[in-house]
A and B are shown apart, each in its own frame.
Chain A
Amino acid sequence: MNRTDRGASVSLAELEKRYDRVNAVDGVSLDIHSGEFLTLLGPSGSGKTSTLMMIAGFETPTAGDIAIDGTSVVAMPPYRRNIGMVFQNYALFPHLTVEENIGFPLKQRGVPKAERARLVAEALELVHLPGYGERYPRQLSGGQQQRVAVARAVVFKPRLLLMDEPLGALDKQLRENLQLEMRRLHADLGITFIYVTHDQEEALTMSDRIAVMNDGKVAQVGSPEDLYDRPSDRFVAGFIGESNFLPAIVRGMEDDVVITECDGALIRAMCPGRPASGDRVTLTTRPERLRFADSAWNATTPQNRLSVTVTEAVFAGERCRYMLQATDGTSMVLKEPSSAAIRRRAIGERAEISWSVADTILV
């Protein structure tokens, strides 16, 4: 069986959820492919959890449609949708043992007892918790409870698994371990995962694709590389990773590269559209992609250059972090890998910085 047979495809069309006068979800259209690991990423209040709750069936959309494998499920109660779900607080039944918790969805489906025991044991194996079946949830650590919740959500072999910030309550170390385990689980099961988080690093690490949400709308959908290297707007550039923003004025186009004037210098940037000459725009670039022009750095790609003054210098072990100020007052961050061979800059020092045109995006 190939991967696509096992996962459901989900299609959201102009989905909307209105509470009183606020649109928590405001016209979300998104196609989630079969077997994909898609993350809904956004700050709190961006509508990501509301969207997930509508897919699960716990919330009813005020407009729009949700189709799973091509069939609209909007009118279907959650218990008929056959979707696995992992909650942020795990939502394990406190009066049932681990075994009974994992067996719960099988029991609802009328799976005979012997078969149930076999599937439960299999699921416990899958999440590395064999031998824990007799315990009660309160006797487990947070990480173990989380695994039980995952086992319970996949034991009935759903084609779609929804996860609402499942790692939010765990400490950093454990979270990183479980992130890898989730990825492995996704690869093993081959089913579609829809994952909600506000943690951009988590989203970048785990997802096939990320839908960045803001104010109830999808700001950008794409692979982690797409979003990081080619953010479509200022919100995405600022929310995922660290970004410098430079105000500039459009002076012309050269193929698909836009030429702008910024702080008296000509800066070239990548731009999908065709802005008109004279437009005021914002350019964005990542701090780790800036370099001091005089350091040992042989760039073969087209470069942008700008004169700056160092206003702050922090040594952070693996890298040095400099705050810079352009002559027009724009402040920028530059991250340089640390090396005993690279000269550290002093505060107040004037310097020339350069970076690749490909790493400059007009947003």
Chain B
Amino acid sequence: MSEIAQPSPIAVPLGAVRPLLRNWRRHVPLMLVAPLLIYMLVLYALPVLAMLLRSLNDPTWTLSHYTALFEDVVFAKTFWITFNTSVIVTLGCLILGYPVAMGLVRAKTMAPLILVVILLPFWTSVLVRSYAWMVLLGRHGLINEGLLALGMIDRPMRILNTSLATQIAMIHILLPYMILPIANALRQIDPSLLRAASGLGATPFMTFRQVILPLSMSGVAAGTLLTFVLALGFYITPAMVGGPRDITLSMLIAQEVDQLNWAYAATLSAVLLATALGILAAARHLPGVGNAFRMSMR
């Protein structure tokens, strides 16, 4: 019986090599990810590192590029605009996204439809969506024409190429990143908890405030973080629909690259990257976010 169960056809001559073979098997997972790992390392991580180094060794080893930022008015203003836009967009996504997440979780037969409506723009390129917003928000765009037709305004409003346009378009593009983590957290709330709350005397509003909201905070934290960090690096949308003076960090970087000002562009990139990583690292220690990280690992 036991002889039949032995699954090794090369057992006898290779007896000595066997431990090695076992080792080889243990490294299979690593070997499976190796091609992508090498690809990422050579074509992405190394160039990024080389680029970031330029902020330190162009033309010689120096920290002057960074110290210069402290007196750089353009940088300060750009950084503020970027940060401010990200905060507004994130809040907008949260306010608009939370109810949608609740609707998505509560809807029974409509849920797949709602999900498709949320994800449809997700599958369209950011460039196309930004162009679409240009069409909608323009002087003779759908919104202005509509409001004119309804008699609510006398002449077309200037929406396109303002910071409002940036915010509207970015909220639209980033909404799924807010909705999906929140919906995920809401879906994990045991429905019997809501019944229990109601049976114990909590009105629907009190149930929301004392049970649903606190139990969905992990999703809110994850969605907020994701949206905010993505918003920090937005380039195409603010460049296309934003105001001429509303320059974000990524636009500034692109501008400097155009002018072959590599060291300055590299310094700005390093600051942007450090800000995003810093926020992620700090947020990891918030209780709700820690949970969200662990949950997304599962």
Contacts and interface: CB of A to CB of B under 8 A. Distances in A.
Interface string A74-107: 0001111111110101011111000000001101
Most chain A beta carbons < 10 A, residue from B195, B201, B202: B201
B215 A91 contact: no
Contacts of B193: 91, 93
Nearest to A108: B201
A343 interface: no
Interface in B171-218: 190, 192-193, 195-203, 206, 210-211, 214-215
Contacts of B211: 93
Interface in A100-123: 104-105, 107-109
A150 B202 CA distance: 17
A58 B195 contact: yes
A136 to B, nearest CB: 13
Given A87-B195, A91-B195, A95-B214, A108 B190 contact: no
B203 to A, nearest CB: 6
Contact of B198 (A58, A92, A93): A58
A108 B199 contact: no
A156 interface: yes
A35 interface: no
A310 interface: no
A81 B195 CA distance: 13
A344 B265 CA distance: 99
Contacts of A209: none
Interface in A137-177: 152-153, 156
B192 A87 contact: yes
A284 to B, nearest CB: 39
Contacts of A85: 195-196, 199-200
A79 B215 contact: no
Interface in A187-205: none
Nearest to A100: B210
Contact of A105 (B190, B195, B200): B200
A56 interface: yes
B243 to A, nearest CB: 43
B201 A82 contact: yes
A94 B291 CA distance: 14
Contacts of A80: 201
Most chain B beta carbons < 10 A, residue from A80, A82, A84, A94: A94
Contacts of A56: 195, 199
A232 B277 CA distance: 74
Contacts of B192: 87, 89, 91
A90 to B, nearest CB: 9
Interface string A48-85: 00000000111000000000000000000111111111
Contacts of A105: 200-201
A153 B195 CA distance: 13
Nearest to B206: A108
B197 A104 contact: yes
Given A91-B192, A104-B210, A152 B200 contact: yes
Interface of B: 190, 192-193, 195-203, 206, 210-211, 214-215
5 contacts: A78-B199, A79-B202, A81-B199, A91-B195, A93-B211
